């Protein structure tokens, strides 16, 4: 089935895969799915691979040409959104 889930912050009930350039996340408990845009997919792939938020923010800033502070705020906000949707276990997000 979907991609590997190396980050324990990702809820056990969530499965995901890339489809084209975007990631699709499925919560098997609620049957709700979420498709991410290219920025979200960029963050998600690295987060799911177990990369720390600081490293993801640095790459995000370089890739999209925004300041390090802006990238960090955006990545953090994105992960908070996912935690609110129970895609991530809030306490484990680092």
Partner 1 sequence: MSSGAKDGKGAPGPGKPSPRALLELAALKARLLKLPEGAPGTLYIALTSRCDLSCRHCKYRSSPPGPDMPFGELRRLLENAASSGIPRAAFFGGEPLLYPRLEQAVRLASGLGLFTQLDTNGQTLDAGRAGELASAGLSLATISLHSAEEAGHDALGGPGSFRKAVAAVSAALRAGLFVHVSSCFFSAGLSSGEPGRLAAFARGLGAHGVRALLYSPPEGGSARLPRRLSRTLAKAAPDGFSRGCVRPGRRACAAAAGEILFTDAELNVKSCPYAVRPLGKATAGLSRFFGGERAPAGLFPCHSPGRSLRRR
Residues that bind partner 1 (CB under 8 A): 1-2, 15-17, 19-20, 22, 24-26, 28, 31-37, 39-40, 43, 64, 66, 70-71, 74-75, 77-78, 81-82, 85
State the nearest-atom distance from the C-beta of 8 to partner 1, in Å. Answer: 18
Structure tokens at 22: 């975007």
State the nearest-atom distance from the C-beta of 77 to partner 1, in Å. Answer: 7
Strands 32-35 and 14-19, by their bridges, are unpaired
State the nearest-atom distance from the C-beta of 18 to partner 1, in Å. Answer: 8
Which one, 1 or 4, has the nearer CB to partner 1?
A: 1
Q: What are phi and psi of 14, to 5 degrees?
A: -100, 130
Strands 14-19 and 22-27, by their bridges, are antiparallel
Structure tokens at 27: 């919560």
Distance CA 64, CA 59 (A): 8
Which one, 33 or 94, has the nearer CB to partner 1?
A: 33
């Amino acid at each position: 089935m979907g991609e590997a889930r190396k980050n324990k912050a990702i809820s056990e009930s969530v499965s995901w895969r890339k489809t084209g350039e975007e990631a699709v996340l499925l919560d098997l408990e609620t049957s709700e799915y979420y498709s991410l845009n290219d920025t979200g997919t960029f963050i998600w792939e690295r987060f799911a691979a177990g990369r720390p938020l600081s490293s993801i923010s640095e790459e995000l800033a370089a890739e999209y040409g925004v300041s390090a502070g802006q990238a960090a705020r955006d990545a953090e906000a994105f992960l908070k959104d996912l935690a609110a949707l129970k895609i991530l276990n809030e306490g484990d997000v680092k």
